Amino acid sequence: MAAPGGFSGTDFKTEETVFLGFTRTQLVAFLVMVAFIVVSPFFLYPVFLMKVLCFALFACAFNLLIGYVGLLSFGHAAYFGMGGYLAGHAAKVWGFTPEIAVLIGGAVGALLGLLIGWLAIRRQGIYFAMITLAFAQMVYFFCVQAPFTGGEDGIQSIPRGNLFGMIPLSADITMYWLTAAVFLIGFLFIHRVIHSPFGMVMKSIRENEPRATSLGYRTDDYKLMAFVLSAALSGVAGGLKSIVFGIATLTDVFWTMSGEVVLMSLVGGLGTIFGPVVGAAVIITMQNYLAEFGAWVTVIQGIIFVLCVLAFRRGIVGEIGNWLRVRL
Amino acid sequence: MDEIFGIPAPLLFGQLLLGLINGAFYALLSLGLAVIFGMLNVINFTHGAQFMLGAFVAWAMLNFLGLGYWWALLLAPIVVGLFGVLLERTMISQLYKLDHLYGLLLTFGVGLIVEGLVRNEFGSSGLPYRIPTELTGAWDLGFMFMPVYRGWVVIVALVACIATWLVIEKTKIGSYLRAATENPALVQAFGINVPRMMTLTYGAGVALAAFAGVLAAPIYSVNPQMGSNLIIIVFAVVVIGGMGSILGSVVTGFGLGIIEGLTKVFYPEASATVIFVVMAIVLLLRPAGLFGRA
């Protein structure tokens, strides 16, 4: 399952790391990304950018699992959606401040990930994908019936509240800076995890699980840990989205959402650090412009899926990296 | 005989029958998935869309060509099966050398395209498809009335499952298929065209899904989402049963349908989730699935 068939980004000759575990090219790419995040609200609509950042964090969390452990979860909507519901409920009904609400979203994602991951890691490959999808559908049915989710209406008019009880977030630009900060912290955290000794074991499981086992690693523990981290960050992304848009609905727990996050990572480049961010930006932009065409969005997403799998498996960032002969 | 465990008998038998019907579809669809997976090592995410296409082709035949249910039962699987053959030849066959998960992603994408196109053409609301006149009415079984069409679905599904089993276990082409599942390179060395067998296997599995779709058309309303809602449950059925044996798919499919029906009677709130709960228990006790090989 190695090189051309695997989901990893191509590994080139290891470059020296210069700062925070980034190689020189990665550092340049990171600075470009930060510069874009800082400058963009002055010429693009902040609400649109916040949507991109929420989904970028979600896609990065998903990519941690598929790109670095080789586990394809087809049910990440469960953690994203439940994180969103609980954060919304915490902010609206319990009256928590937004930062606590988002953390609650992350905690819910982690708990749910612990439970589902514990069951799902018993099987591999396509079975793992089917199991995670099935459990996510179970969470969806739960959300349809549970009273606190508001059924078809969802949880509406969630207040943005005051950050730390002091800074009001009602202005879009203030909310934007908070969203950007959460995204960057999440992004750097994932980057740190990938480059930690723990991350090395994750990658060794992706490359050759029996070998990792024979070297004495309890691979199931590592897989579960990675799964919980990914689910927790997805919950944070979902919680953040609820606070930003003031609404949490069934769309966010439905299987189509799980498909969308797969698509974002695939378009951007599986197993690259920056790929999911680019993929999220591309897909959200596309949805924005094509919203008026209704069901055609589904068709176009399907076509992108097919094209990516058949002809463009490295994704946008993966292709750029391959062209420059560097890891991005 | 009026009450069983404090439940009115007609309600109990009614739900059991509904469970059997759902079970028939679980069995037919998981059987198709298992046959395709055994040969191609691809889990066919388009299966739900192909099931839905079967129903839509039946509807279109009736409304545009005036061909009724019986023609649809014969022709719709062939039409959709040919679409499957085309799909395998042009796309899926290019992925055999790659990680199996790419096949999953590709068929998922194709499913989105098919579902989106059908929704654009026919809208999301259901289209009615009438029960053929020969199968209307109900039998009086003494303890309940059994609508003829529902009985027909259960019987036909069983016959289709047994026929598939016979083809795979008792015919020459079936023995090639089993051999090629075990060791394709060796079978190819004996002069058997394995790539063509893979194409035909995929086509047959897809045709089986479309056949189930035609059977379902008069029961459920014909709508673009009918397949995707069902297929996720079928995935859980496949995980529970394991894809190792054909008999296993059939037993698991019908069994889970009945469990679901009984849950509707005794604890309706859990009826949507009971199959997933069973899946969790099976994963705990027998991770390879009830009939699976580890």
B194-224: pLDDT as tens digits: 889 889 999 999 999 999 999 999 988 888 9
Q: Contact A295/B119, CB-based, under 8 Å?
A: yes
Residues of chain B neighbouring A4 (CB-CB closer than 8 A):
97-98
B235 to A75, A134, B27, B61, B245: CA distances (angstroms): 13, 7, 11, 30, 15
Model confidence pLDDT, tens digit, residues B239-258? 888 877 788 888 999 999 99
Q: Contact A134/B97, CB-based, under 8 Å?
A: no
DSSP-derived 3-state class of residue A21: coil
Can you give the pLDDT at residue B216?
92
Residue in the block written with tokens 């176009």: A300
Q: What percent of chain A has pLDDT over 90?
A: 53
Q: What are residue B195's DSSP bridge partners?
A: none
Where does the pLDDT of residue A2 fall: very low under 50, low under 70, confident under 90, or very high at 90 and above? very low
Q: Contact A7/B101, CB-based, under 8 Å?
A: yes
Q: Contact A303/B113, CB-based, under 8 Å?
A: yes
Q: What is the mean pLDDT of residues B281-285?
A: 87
- Evaluated on CA atoms B238, B240, B245, B247, the torsion sign reads negative
Q: How many domains does chain A have?
A: 1
From A127, which residue of chain B is nearest by alpha-carbon distance? B239
Quick check: B147 and B21 in contact, CB under 8 A? no
Distance in angstroms (rounded) separating the CA atoms of residues B81 and B202: 8
Where does the pLDDT of residue A302 fall: very low under 50, low under 70, confident under 90, or very high at 90 and above? very high
Rg (CA), chain B: 19
DSSP-derived 3-state class of residue A8: coil
Distance in angstroms (rounded) separating the CA atoms of residues B255 and B261: 10
- Evaluated on CA atoms B19, B21, B23, B26, the torsion sign reads negative
Q: Count other C-beta atoms under 10 Å from residue A293's C-beta.
A: 12
Of B235, B269, B283, the CB nearest to A133: B235
Could you tell me the two tokens for A137?
């559908």
Q: What is the mean pLDDT of residues B5-9?
A: 73
Q: What is the mean pLDDT of residues A121-150?
A: 88
Q: How many domains does chain B have?
A: 1
Distance in angstroms (rounded) separating the CA atoms of residues B253 and A219: 33
DSSP-derived 3-state class of residue A123: coil
Q: What is the mean pLDDT of residues A231-255?
A: 93
CA end-to-end span of chain A, whole Å? 21
Q: What percent of chain B has pLDDT over 70?
A: 98
Distance in angstroms (rounded) separating the CA atoms of residues A174 and A178: 7
Question: Which comes out higher in pLDDT, residue B8 or B111?
Answer: B111
From B99, which residue of chain A is nearest by alpha-carbon distance? A5
Pairing status of strand A17-19 against strand A22-23: antiparallel
Could you tell me the two tokens for A109?
């994602």
Looking at beta carbons, which pairs linking A24-27 to residues 24 or more positions away fall under 8 Å?
A25/A324, A25/A326, A25/A327, A25/A328, A26/A273, A26/A274, A26/A326, A26/A327, A26/A328
Of B116, B272, B287, the CB nearest to A298: B116
Quick check: B12 and B268 in contact, CB under 8 A? no
Q: Contact A129/B283, CB-based, under 8 Å?
A: no
Chosen from B30, B45, B89, B105 to mutate, greatest number of chain A CBs within 10 A: B105
Model confidence pLDDT, tens digit, residues A68-120? 998 999 999 999 999 999 999 999 889 888 999 999 999 999 999 999 999 99
Model confidence pLDDT, tens digit, residues B167-196? 988 898 888 888 888 888 898 898 888 889
Could you tell me the two tokens for A97?
């401040």
Where does the pLDDT of residue A257 fall: very low under 50, low under 70, confident under 90, or very high at 90 and above? very high
Q: Supply the CATH number for residue A123's domain.
A: 1.10.3470
Can you give the pLDDT at residue A104?
95
The answer to the question of residue B9 being in a domain is: no
Question: Which comes out higher in pLDDT, residue A118 or B127?
Answer: A118
Q: Contact A119/B269, CB-based, under 8 Å?
A: no
From A258, which residue of chain B is nearest by alpha-carbon distance? B108
Torsion of CA A304, A305, A309, A310, to 10 degrees: -50
Give the H or E element holding residue A17.
Answer: strand A17-19
From A75, which residue of chain B is nearest by alpha-carbon distance? B232
Q: Contact A295/B287, CB-based, under 8 Å?
A: no
Q: Contact B116/A305, CB-based, under 8 Å?
A: no
Pairing status of strand B145-147 against strand B7-8: unpaired
Residues of chain A neighbouring B46 (CB-CB closer than 8 A):
none
Where does the pLDDT of residue A140 fall: very low under 50, low under 70, confident under 90, or very high at 90 and above? very high
The answer to the question of residue B58 being in a domain is: yes
Residues of chain B neighbouring A129 (CB-CB closer than 8 A):
43, 101, 104
From A144, which residue of chain B is nearest by alpha-carbon distance? B272
Residues of chain B neighbouring A303 (CB-CB closer than 8 A):
109, 113
Distance in angstroms (rounded) separating the CA atoms of residues A113 and A137: 14
Residues of chain B neighbouring A141 (CB-CB closer than 8 A):
272-273
State the smallest CA–CA distance between residue A13 and chain B in angstroms.
24
Which amino acid does the sequence have at A308? C
Residues of chain B neighbouring A123 (CB-CB closer than 8 A):
239, 283, 287
Quick check: B249 and B27 in contact, CB under 8 A? yes
- Evaluated on CA atoms A173, A178, A183, A185, the torsion sign reads positive
Q: Which of A51, A116, A54, A114 is nearest to A80 (CA)?
A: A54
Q: Count other C-beta atoms under 10 Å from residue A305's C-beta.
A: 24
Distance in angstroms (rounded) separating the CA atoms of residues A51 and A288: 10
Helix ranges, chain B (H): 9-40, 47-60, 69-90, 100-122, 148-170, 172-182, 184-189, 194-216, 226-241, 246-266, 274-285
Helix ranges, B61-171 (H): 69-90, 100-122, 148-170
Q: Contact B104/A72, CB-based, under 8 Å?
A: yes
Where does the pLDDT of residue A5 fall: very low under 50, low under 70, confident under 90, or very high at 90 and above? very low
Could you tell me the two tokens for A219?
């691979």
State the smallest CA–CA distance between residue A148 and chain B in angstroms.
16
Can you give the pLDDT at residue A102?
93
Residue B2 has pLDDT above 80, yes or no: no
Q: Which ipTM value was assigned to this complex?
A: 0.88
Q: Which of A189, A160, A181 is nearest to A97 (CA)?
A: A160
State the smallest CA–CA distance between residue B2 and chain A in angstroms.
32
Phi, psi of B247 (to 5 degrees): -55, -40
Q: Contact A126/B101, CB-based, under 8 Å?
A: yes
Can you give the pLDDT at residue A12?
58
Could you tell me the two tokens for A104?
């609650």
Q: What percent of chain A has pLDDT over 70?
A: 95
State the smallest CA–CA distance between residue B154 and chain A in angstroms.
25
Model confidence pLDDT, tens digit, residues A187-232? 999 999 998 899 999 999 998 889 999 999 999 999 999 999 999 9
Of B101, B105, B276, the CB nearest to A125: B101
Please, what is the average pLDDT of chain A? 88
Which range is most confident: A216-225, B143-152, B283-292? A216-225
Give the H or E element holding residue B138.
Answer: strand B138-140
Give the H or E element holding residue B54.
Answer: helix B47-60
B interface with A, Cβ–Cβ below 8 Å: 37, 43, 91, 94-95, 97-102, 104-106, 108-117, 119-120, 228, 232-233, 235-236, 238-239, 269, 272-273, 276-277, 279-280, 283-284, 287
Residues of chain B neighbouring A255 (CB-CB closer than 8 A):
228, 232
Can you give the pLDDT at residue A1?
34
Can you give the pLDDT at residue B268?
82
Can you give the pLDDT at residue B110?
95
Which range is most confident: A156-165, A257-266, A293-302, B264-273? A257-266
Model confidence pLDDT, tens digit, residues A10-65? 555 566 777 777 888 888 889 999 999 999 998 889 999 999 999 999 999 999 99
Distance in angstroms (rounded) separating the CA atoms of residues A133 and B232: 7
Distance in angstroms (rounded) separating the CA atoms of residues A86 and B220: 35
CB pairs under 8 A between A and B: 126
Q: Contact B236/A123, CB-based, under 8 Å?
A: no
Distance in angstroms (rounded) separating the CA atoms of residues B22 and B25: 5
Name the DSSP class of B271: T
Of A130, A144, A309, the CB nearest to B43: A130
